[in-house]
Structure 1
C-alpha cells in the first residue's frame, strides 16, 4: 500500500495545475476580445482537457498577422493615401454618405472615386469566358488573385489565355491561397500548369514552417481579383474552378455554385489593383508601386462613384463589418442581403433586426442547403430572431449553392465583393469589398435579386418553429462555435 501513498499528492498537484490554467485563461482570454469570442474560447478550454483547449487557443486564438506583414500593409496604405487619383470626379450629391466614405478612407486608405462603369455577370460559365477574353486582350500586364485557382476542364481556357499572354510579352502575375489550394483535388497539377505557362506566381499566406512561413493556419486570403493593364478589373465571389469544385460529394449531390462578379472600368480599377500590389509585396517582397494607380478618364455620362474597402487581419479594425453596419443604419426604405454564409455578430444582428422592426423592408437570400455543415447550422440558429423581427428570408432552392455576396441599401448604394456576412470574413479572412453609389448599378442588382427571388422559396416563422427538434439543437450548438469559425 505504501507504494501508492504518493497518488493523493500527484492528484492534488494536477488539480492545482488544472485550476491555475483555467484561472489564467479566465483572466487572459477575454483581453481585447469580443465577449462572444472570449466566451467561445473559454467554453472550449473548460469543456476540453485544459492542455488541448490551451493548445488550440495558442494556435488559433490570435487573428493578427505577423509583424512584417502588418508593416508592409501600413507602407502600402501610406502610398495609396498620397497617390490615388479620381477623387475629383466624385459627384458629391450624397452628403448622407460622406461619413461612411470617411470611415472607409480612415480604415482602409482607399478614397471614393468617380468616373466608373460596372457590368454584372451572374452566370458562372459566362464569367469565366469574359475573364478569359479580358486576359486575351491584355497588352501590358495581368494580375490574377484568387482564393481558389484550379486547373480543370472548365478553367483550362483561362490558363491557356495566361500562357498565351506570356508568349506575346505580357507580364502575368498570379496569387492563390495556399491552404485553399491544398484542399482542391488538382492542386499539384495546377502548380505544374502555372510553371508551364511561364507566369510569375506565389502562394498566399503559405503554411511552410520549414521555410520560416507561419501564421495562424486558418487566416486565409479570400479575395478574388483580376486586373488587366490597369484598365479593367473583375471582382466578386467567384473562384477560378469548376462550379462543382470537383468534389465527389458535390458531384454526387448535383451541387453547383452560383456566383456574381462585376467588371469595373475607371479609376476604381487602380484601387482594386492596389490590393493585388499589397498582397504581391507581402508574399514576394517585390513592390510594384508604378502599377498602383492609373490616370482616371470619363467613360460615359452615367458613371458611378465607388470605393474599395479592404479588410482582414492586416488591419486594426474590422473594416467590412464597420462599413456594413454603418450602411445598415442609414437605410430608409430597403435592405436586401445575399450571403452564402450568414453568421452575424451581435452588432450586425441588432442593426438588421432594428431596421426590420422600424418598418424597413429587409430581405435575406441564403441557400436552402449548405456545403459546410457547422457554418450552415450556425447560420440557421439566427433565423428565428430574424423572422420574428420581420426579416423576409428567401431560401435559394437546392441543388444550387448561392455563393454571391452583395447587399443593397435603398436604391442608392450597393456593396459587392468577396466578403461573407460572418465572423470569419469579419476577422480572419483577407477580403475585398467595393461600395458603389449609383442608381443604375442598384437597378442592375435589383434584376439579379428578382432572379434569385423567382428561384427561391420564402421561409415563414410557423414553418420554421415546426422543424425537427434534433436539428434545432444542432443549430444552437453550432452557434456556440460561430465566434471562432
Structure 2
C-alpha cells in the first residue's frame, strides 16, 4: 500500500510537470500574449484544475461544422455583393479606407440612401418594433441574445403570432444560454412551440443531444427585420428593463439602451447577417427568398455599412474598426460601453488619442451588474484618467447598456458590441458604421443627455480607493484575459 501511494504521488508530480511543460509550448500558439500569459499563470498555479478549465474554455473555434457553414455563407454574401455599385464618400479623408477595411473583413458594402432614427427610450423601442411587426405582410426575422415573453414584450410576441396567422413567415433566433438564464424560459419555449413561429436556439449547449461547444461562445447580436424593408439593431434585448430578476427590481435597477431604426439599403446587409446565422443553425438557405425584396433608397439619406464579427472571423473585425477609427480622430472621441475591458490595441488607441490632444470621453455605469467584469473594467480607469480621458459615471441603480461611439463630427458606430475582450473574441456581434454630420449630431444629443445625468470621475478621487479594491480590480483584470 505504501509503495502504491508513493507511485501515485510520483505520478501526480510527473503529470504536474508534463502539464506545465506542454502549456508553455502550446498555449502561446495563435493567441495574444496577454491571453496566453493569463492561461499560463492559471495552469502554473493550479495545473490539473487549470488544464481542465482550459479544455472547456480554451478554444475559440465554434466547431468544424458550424465554422464550415459560416464560411460558406460568407462566400455567398461576398459573391452577392461584389457586383453592387459602390457608394463613394470623400470626407473625412480616412473614410474610404474604413469602408474598404469593413468590406474586406465582413463582405458587406458601404451603402447610401438610408433613413436612420435613434430610439433612446426602452419602452419606445419595443413599441416601435411591435408596430412594424403588426404591419408585416410577408416576413419577419428576429435575432436576439436574450428574449423573454413578459409583460413588456408580450405585445411584440403577440404581434409575431398574429403575423404568422396572416401568412407572414416569422423566423426567430435566440441565444440558448443567454435566454435560458432568464426566469420563465421553459414557459417561453412552450409558447413558441405552440405557435407557428419558426425558431431555433443559437449555439445550443445540450450535451445529451450531442450539442456542445465552448459554453461562453455566444451569439450576442440584436436584429429585427420586417418585410425586408425596415430593420432595428443596437444594444437592447427583447426583455423588460429589469431582466425579470427580483434582485434587479428590488434595487430599482433598469437597463438604459439605444436602438437604431433603419429604412434603406443597409436593411439588406442586416438581413444577410440573419440569413447567415439561420443557415448556421438550421442548414436552411435563405438567399433566394431574401434577394427578392429590395429596400427603399432615400434621397440625401445616411451612408451606412454593417460589420459582423465573432469567433468565425479570425480577424477580430469589430476591434480593427474601432481602433482604426479612434486613431483617425482629430478632435473628439465619445465612447459608450457598459463593459469597457480593452485589450492592448484598444487601450493604446484610446490613451494615444487623448495624449495627442483629442478630447476623449467614456460613459460607463457608476455600478456594474456583473461583478467580475465591473472590477476588471475598474482596473483600467487609472491609466485612462492619467492619459486625459474623461470618465462619466452614469448614476446607479441604472445600468447604462448602450453600445455606441462617435468620432469628430463625421462618423458614429452603433451595435451589439461592447468594448471588451469578450465582444472582440468570443461573441458574435454586429456593428453599423454611419457617416454624416446630421446623424452624428443625433448621437451627440444622446451623449449630452448622458453627460447631464452623470458625474465625472477624477484621478484624485480614484487614487484614494482602498488597497483591497485595487487588489480585487487587478485580479479580475487577469481573468478577463482568459480567452
Superposed CA offset, 1:353-405 (max 9, x none): 00000000000000001110000000000000000000000000011000000
Deviation of 1:308 (Å) = 0.7
Equivalence for 1:290: 288
In 1: Cα distance, 2:233 partner to 2:371 partner: 27
In 2: Cα distance, 1:389 partner to 1:437 partner: 28
Secondary structure in 1 aligned to 2:481? helix
In 1: Cα distance, 2:84 partner to 2:303 partner: 9
Q: Which runs of 5+ in 2 are unaligned?
A: none
Q: Does 1:65 align with 2:62?
A: yes
Deviation of 1:309 (Å) = 0.5
Equivalence for 2:241: 243
Q: Which runs of 5+ in 1 are unaligned?
A: none
Equivalence for 2:387: 389
Secondary structure in 2 aligned to 1:114? strand
Deviation of 1:439 (Å) = 1.3
In 1: Cα distance, 2:2 partner to 2:206 partner: 47
In 1: Cα distance, 2:473 partner to 2:285 partner: 46
Aligned counterpart for 1:93 among listed residues 90, 93, 98: 90
Given that 2:133 and 2:160 are in contact with CA atoms closer than 8 Å, whether structure 1 keeps it comes out as yes
Aligned counterpart for 1:134 among listed residues 129, 132, 157: 132
Equivalence for 2:256: 258
Deviation of 1:197 (Å) = 2.9
Equivalence for 1:162: 160
Equivalence for 2:448: 450
Q: Does 1:308 align with 2:306?
A: yes
Given that 1:237 and 1:417 are in contact with CA atoms closer than 8 Å, whether structure 2 keeps it comes out as yes
Superposed CA offset, 1:226-284 (max 9, x none): 00011000000000101000111111111000000000011100000111101111111
In 2: Cα distance, 1:420 partner to 1:434 partner: 13
Secondary structure in 2 aligned to 1:480? helix
Deviation larger for 16-25 or 387-396: 16-25
Equivalence for 2:189: 191
Equivalence for 1:338: 336
In 1: Cα distance, 2:481 partner to 2:387 partner: 23
Aligned counterpart for 1:78 among listed residues 68, 75, 78: 75
In 1: Cα distance, 2:425 partner to 2:156 partner: 31
In 1: Cα distance, 2:83 partner to 2:134 partner: 27
Question: Residues 133 and 297 of structure 1: is their aligned pair in 2 closer, same or farther, counting only changes over 3 Å?
Answer: closer
Secondary structure in 2 aligned to 1:481? helix
Given that 1:85 and 1:113 are in contact with CA atoms closer than 8 Å, whether structure 2 keeps it comes out as no
Deviation of 1:214 (Å) = 1.6
Secondary structure in 1 aligned to 2:116? strand
Superposed CA offset, 1:306-338 (max 9, x none): 111100011121000011011111101100000
CA RMSD after TM alignment = 1.5
1:174-253 aligned within 5 A: 174-253=172-251
Equivalence for 1:437: 435
Count of matched residue positions in the alignment of Structure 1 and Structure 2? 481
Given that 2:267 and 2:295 are in contact with CA atoms closer than 8 Å, whether structure 1 keeps it comes out as no
Structure 1 runs, 4 residues or longer, greater than 6 Å off: none
Given that 1:89 and 1:114 are in contact with CA atoms closer than 8 Å, whether structure 2 keeps it comes out as no
Deviation of 1:14 (Å) = 2.4
Equivalence for 1:151: 149
In 2: Cα distance, 1:297 partner to 1:142 partner: 17
